[in-house]
Copies of this chain bind each other. A is one copy, B any other.
């Protein structure tokens, strides 16, 4: 696995400070065990890819004040974390390990894990609704996040995924793509689009971030499927080889490892191409942070792909 880019670590540090401060504020108002479970999962040291995509797209579209975009970045991480807690439940993927630690229901109990997930979903919308953004933009972002997270997005994708596991052999590559565009892709794409919108992006910038988000969304999942067969559990921080053990239809099981790697290359190329208008606009731009952030988008695409090694 390639090293984590320094910019990703920097964004993660800022995000975690903000998340910690927000949760600490809540301590007197929330049942202790519930808050402990929310904190345990939210601060379990993920790579914070979605917030980094959001904040980088924000800056690459000319956004100057990261504080404007931070509540949305916190919201998408809370939403992602809730989905992990519920996906890990015994009745779903039944996972004991996540990021090298016991999953939420193992560390606490199932009921607490269900409620911690439920509370983190609410908290995602709360952070966004309480953000300092203009009300019209805020409503627009809230609405698009409900679509990305709900039955037409992430939750719908998880349902398709479970149905596919039962269907077994009958799944083709288009069905796998449909699952992942919903299950993983919707939040990744929302992150990129939200960053652009908060920056006040023009139509061309917004379209570029949206295409980039779609490409890195699929790239992320293909890399994940490849990792499942090539990496060890220790390196992954979760059970490796699980897809094959469950006879799950993945990019690798359907296409084989060489073709899956090619497809990852193609998605990476799509992401790079999608960035081109942002790069060109950045080159015309005097401000160094815009140029740097446009370059960071390429680095993030590299990172998401290079995880396969």
**Quick one: which of A137-169 are within 8 Å of B by CB?**
138-139, 142-143, 146-147, 149-152, 155-156, 158-160, 162-163
Chain B positions within 8 Å of A142 at CB level: 125, 129, 139, 142
Q: Is A38 part of the contact surface with B, judged by Cβ < 8 Å?
A: yes
**Quick one: which of A221-249 are within 8 Å of B by CB?**
none
Once the chains bind, are B130 and A135 in contact (CB under 8 Å)? no
Once the chains bind, are A92 and B118 in contact (CB under 8 Å)? no
Chain B positions within 8 Å of A115 at CB level: 86, 155, 158-159
> CB < 8 Å: which of B34, B146, B152 contacts A30?
B152
Task: Give A28 Cβ to nearest chain B Cβ, in Å.
Answer: 10
- Provide the bound-state CA to CA distance between A135 and B35, in Å: 31
- Provide the bound-state CA to CA distance between A121 and B114, in Å: 13
Once the chains bind, are B89 and A114 in contact (CB under 8 Å)? yes
A91 with B119, Cβ < 8 A, contacts A125-B125, A146-B126, A156-B31 known: no
Closest to A38 in B: B151
> CB < 8 Å: which of B38, B111, B121, B160 contacts A121?
B121
Chain B positions within 8 Å of A139 at CB level: 129, 135, 138-139, 142
Q: Is A259 part of the contact surface with B, judged by Cβ < 8 Å?
A: no
Q: Is A33 part of the contact surface with B, judged by Cβ < 8 Å?
A: yes
Q: Is A21 part of the contact surface with B, judged by Cβ < 8 Å?
A: no
Once the chains bind, are B121 and A151 in contact (CB under 8 Å)? no
Q: Is A123 part of the contact surface with B, judged by Cβ < 8 Å?
A: yes
Once the chains bind, are B33 and A119 in contact (CB under 8 Å)? no
Once the chains bind, are A126 and B155 in contact (CB under 8 Å)? no
Q: Is A110 part of the contact surface with B, judged by Cβ < 8 Å?
A: yes
A34 with B109, Cβ < 8 A, contacts A114-B86, A138-B139 known: no
The count of identical subunits is 2
Chain B positions within 8 Å of A126 at CB level: 143, 146-147, 150
Chain B positions within 8 Å of A135 at CB level: 135-136, 138-139
Closest to A137 in B: B135
Q: Is A29 part of the contact surface with B, judged by Cβ < 8 Å?
A: yes
Q: Is A26 part of the contact surface with B, judged by Cβ < 8 Å?
A: yes
Once the chains bind, are B109 and A91 in contact (CB under 8 Å)? yes
Q: Is A122 part of the contact surface with B, judged by Cβ < 8 Å?
A: yes
- Provide the bound-state CA to CA distance between A38 and B152, in Å: 13
Chain B positions within 8 Å of A92 at CB level: 111, 114
Q: Is A253 part of the contact surface with B, judged by Cβ < 8 Å?
A: no
Question: Top 5 A-B pairs ranked by shortest CB distance?
Answer: A122-B150, A126-B146, A91-B110, A129-B143, A135-B135
Residues on A facing B (Cβ under 8 Å):
26, 29-31, 33-35, 38, 82, 86, 89, 91-92, 109-112, 114-115, 117-119, 121-123, 125-126, 129-130, 135-136, 138-139, 142-143, 146-147, 149-152, 155-156, 158-160, 162-163
